[in-house]
Amino acid sequence: MTKHLLIVAHTPSENTRRMLAAMIDGAQDPAIEGVATRAVAPLKATADDVLSADAIILGTPENLGYMSGALKDFFDRIYYPCLELTQGRPYALCVRAGSDGTGTRRGVETIVTGLRWRAAREPLICRGDFREEFVEQARELGMYMAAGLDAGIL
Ligand SMILES: Cc1cc2nc3c(=O)[nH]c(=O)nc-3n(C[C@H](O)[C@H](O)[C@H](O)COP(=O)(O)O)c2cc1C
């Protein structure tokens, strides 16, 4: 049966859009056959999108020491509709931060702890001046999550 990977990422810049494209590309690696990947912008993503996902990747820049307002709006809308129904969902976090990232990590982790989602791996914090390796790390994260779902080990 096909598993569903949902990517909810706010991508206000060319660099973050490149990272998202690579993440999708990694998740759609030809070796991964049993996973359907959907990327939805946080302002458009709904509780139904989350309910129908087997795993979730969250992506956000750090803005003013916190996750983007768009990702926060996503959580504000899905929190209660999902609270009882998505406990244990594996998720991963990708933060693009000009210099820090810790406030965003803490903010997201506080919310997903409330939701009782389960970290599938350490957050990917892409910090500092933009580097090409961030694109490859995003690709690898997409592949990791999709391959893990495909293998039934997430
Ligand atoms: C209004 C604003 C606030 C920001 N605040 C932070 C911040 O608190 N911490 C941080 O590490 N980066 C901060 N940044 C930098 C962004 O995280 C970064 O520009 C964004 O991730 C896009 O990355 P890019 O420049 O590689 O496209 C801020 C950027 C903007 C526009």
Average per-residue pLDDT in the chain?
Answer: 98
Domain of 125 in residue numbering reads as 3-151
* Nearest alpha-carbon partner for 58 in 129, 132, 109: 109
**Span 78-103, pLDDT tens digits:** 999 999 999 999 999 999 999 999 99
State how far the Cα of 101 lies from the Cα of 98, in Å rounded to an integer: 8
pTM for this entry:
0.98
- Look at residue 44 and give its three-state secondary structure: coil
Report how far ligand 1's centroid is from the alpha carbon of 61 (Å).
6
**Span 116-144, pLDDT tens digits:** 999 999 999 999 999 999 999 999 999 99
Nearest CA to ligand 1 atom 1: 63
> Distance from first CA to last CA of the chain, Å, rounded?
15
- Look at residue 113 and give its three-state secondary structure: helix
| Amino acid identity for residue 55 in this structure | A
Q: What is the pLDDT of residue 149?
A: 98
Question: How many domains does one find in the chain?
Answer: 1
Question: What CATH number does the domain containing 86 carry?
Answer: 3.40.50.360
User: Best substitution site from 62, 133, 134 to test ligand 1's pocket, by max atoms within 8 Å of Cβ?
Assistant: 62
State how far the Cα of 46 lies from the Cα of 28, in Å rounded to an integer: 22
Q: What is the pLDDT of residue 43?
A: 98
Ligand 1 atom nearest the C-alpha of 127 is 11
Q: What is the pLDDT of residue 68?
A: 98
Residue 110: pLDDT band with limits 50, 70, 90: very high
**How many Å is the maximal CA-CA distance in the chain?**
42
More confident residue, 1 or 115: 115
| Amino acid identity for residue 136 in this structure | E
